[in-house]
Structure 1
Amino acid sequence: MSTTGKLSHASLEQAAQWYVRLQDQGSTQEQQRWQAWVAQHPEHLAAWQYVERVSQRFAPLLDQPQGASRALRSTRRQTLKTLLVVCGGSTLAWGTWRTTALPRLVGGWSADYATASGETRDTLLADGSHVWLNALSALDVRFDAVQRLLNLRFGEVLIDTAKDAHRPFLVDTEQGRMQALGTRFSVVHDDNHTQLNVFEGRVRVTTLSQQVRIIEAGQQSVFTRDGFQPTASASQAREAWSRGVLLADNLPLGELVAELNRYRPGHLGCDPSVAQLPVMGSFPLMDSDHALHLLQAALPVRVERLMPWWATVRPQ
């Protein structure tokens, strides 16, 4: 699950650069130029909101005296309130974040099991089934006398089911329902689709439109509410993360960076000019700095750190 939604790399980088400039200078002229940039396009406002959210987790790293930093943030927030009125709360970028990312964030707080950035969770359920919850995920568990039901609100879960002849093991997402048939499998729930990888046994999938398909061991299925994409080979990477390993088999660099970003408390982006570089190998998920060092050694790329909590993979 992307933490930045549909925001472009350019808008995010510009917002981060504005953040640095305001921290360093914060003059009236700079404030006015920043206000003009934010008002220029709805995506600029959403990108700035994202940078602010990330920066709040790293407030102790700010270089300015506490009072000056607090005053600067207060000025920016007041200006943003005005811009929200001028730009309109229903603009595409802000409206998309408010209606998709925000409800998911709040929804995760009330889930039975939830993980934050950089966190995974290993749980043994009441029936003996084993589940691993990936970073930035939320899961509900509903067991009763007739069924065992998991609802993956968002994110990813790896499941090793226990046998129970009287209660089927079910997993729901917004796109459909999966029924385990003696199985070890993973489920990734993104905004518009569900990805299922079956490692042992079989899984019966029923989409919301009532299309049915059985996915065998060694297969991967991506489906929406309305149907299925062509079946492919199961991705071992969707199991390896539970061991703290990110596997890349000709994985585009942009996708690898997006995966690493889930395990960093700050922001990690990828320049579009190198996003399609193929990557091979294994990388430590819980030590993303070392993973980035390995990438720089293997590819013609460098890691630029605009701030301690904002890094971008760029061409060398």
Structure 2
Amino acid sequence: MSRDVARAAAQWLALLESGAATERDHAALQRWRDSHPQHEQTWQKAQTLRQRFNGLPQALAMASLDRPQPGRRAVLKRALGVAALVPTAWLISRQLPLETWRADLHTATGERKRLPLADGANLQLNTATAVDMDLAQRQITLVDGELALDVPGDSAFTVNTRYGQLRVSQAQVCVRQLAAGCRVSVLKGAVQVRDLNGQLATLQGGQQAPLQATGLGAWVPFDVLQLGWRDGVLTAQNQALGDFLRELERYRPGVLRWDPSLEALRVTGSFRLEDTDRILNLLASTLGLEVHARTRYWVTLTPGRRLS
């Protein structure tokens, strides 16, 4: 995602918040959103941030509008000059860090990529993921998101994370960046882990462990169904609906909400990730839910009549 797109989304948001937007402005915004998928994704993220910090930009914009200025253009200029600062700051510093923009490879929300590497190795990026590559040194740096790396034969790659380093040779591993660490899952072979303190440990195939600032945590057996995203599948086995929807959110641009009473419902099945709208409709039909779509990018699930 480029800095220019983020700044444009912030400026559009500030214009709407100013109260000075005309029908022509709304039409122009819609054309901008429709002109590229990245525009719509950035706009939805800006809207989500606006909800999280409800009131602040509007208050700043209204403070500008309250000052007597001759003509709509002068009012709008001042409103944009003040209010645009806050959404831009949210987009840049809170949700869209500069290192993500600068990453060598990245995926948008809902996008996945596969990249062949040297000596038969393969790299996969999950939704909303950014990595830096140094192929000469056979190093991959996970900036954000989730990757899967398959390194056959005698070659080796190093995966750098914020919390330590992995040495991958004759092994398959998945690494997911979390709020306070990484989750390392070894599918096959053995992976050497070096934490921030320089301590070395080895994870074997079938083991999963958290890698945090304090070091590598205790391993547990991992459920291979968690890694179905590599094949474009999200699988649930008697899973709480709330947990399933939180995972599904990662693959949907925009806002997904649900009534708290739905949290404990159970869901089982395998769902293709290329059509998340269809997943929601399947859940609705099998669990008796109602899907309320304000737009394609703002969806709420509520109990149906039989659950009420």
Residue identity (%): 31
- CA gap of 1:292–1:171, structure 2 versus 1, over 3 A, is same
Kept in 2, the 8 Å contact 1:115–1:135? The answer is: yes
Q: TM-score, normalised by structure 1?
A: 0.66
1:151 to 141, 148, 154: 141
RMSD of aligned Cα (Å): 3.6
Quote how far apart the aligned CAs of 1:122 are: 1.1
Residue from 265, 270, 273 that aligns with 2:261: 273
SS at match of 2:110: coil
Deviation (angstroms), 1:188? 0.6
Using the TM superposition, give the Cα deviation of residue 238 of structure 1 relative to its aligned residue in structure 2, in angstroms: 3.7
Q: How does 1:1-316 map to 2 (within 5 A)?
A: 43-45=53-55, 82=82, 98-103=92-97, 106-144=98-136, 147-164=137-154, 168-316=156-304
Alignment deviations for residues 122-147 of structure 1 (CA, whole Å, 9 cap, x no partner): 11013321111111101112133xx4
Gaps of 5+ in 2: 1-15, 24-50, 59-73
SS of structure 2 residue aligned to 1:161: strand
User: CA deviation digits over 1:216-259, x for unaligned, max 9?
Assistant: 11111112111334322223234311211101134332332233
What TM-score, normalized by structure 2, do the two folds share? 0.68
Query: Higher relative contact order by CA 8 Å / sep ≥ 6: 1 or 2?
Result: 1
Say if 1:186 and 1:238, in contact at 8 Å, map to a contact too: no
State the aligned residue count: 248
Give the direction of change, closer, same or farther, for the CA distance of 1:314–1:75 in structure 2 (3 Å limit): farther
| Corresponding residue for residue 56 of structure 1 | none
- SS of 1:127 mapped into structure 2: helix
CA distance in 1, matches of 2:248, 2:182: 20
Contact (CA 8 Å) 1:135, 1:262: kept in 2 or not? yes
CA contact (8 A) 1:177 1:205 kept: yes
The Cα of 1:115 is off from its aligned counterpart by 0.7
Give the C-alpha shift of residue 76 in structure 1: 9.3
Shift of 1:118: 1.9
Q: Distance in 2 between matches of 1:258 and 1:192?
A: 17
In structure 2, what residue type is equivalent to 1:225?
A: A
Rounded Cα–Cα distance in structure 2 between residues aligned with 1:45 and 1:81 = 17
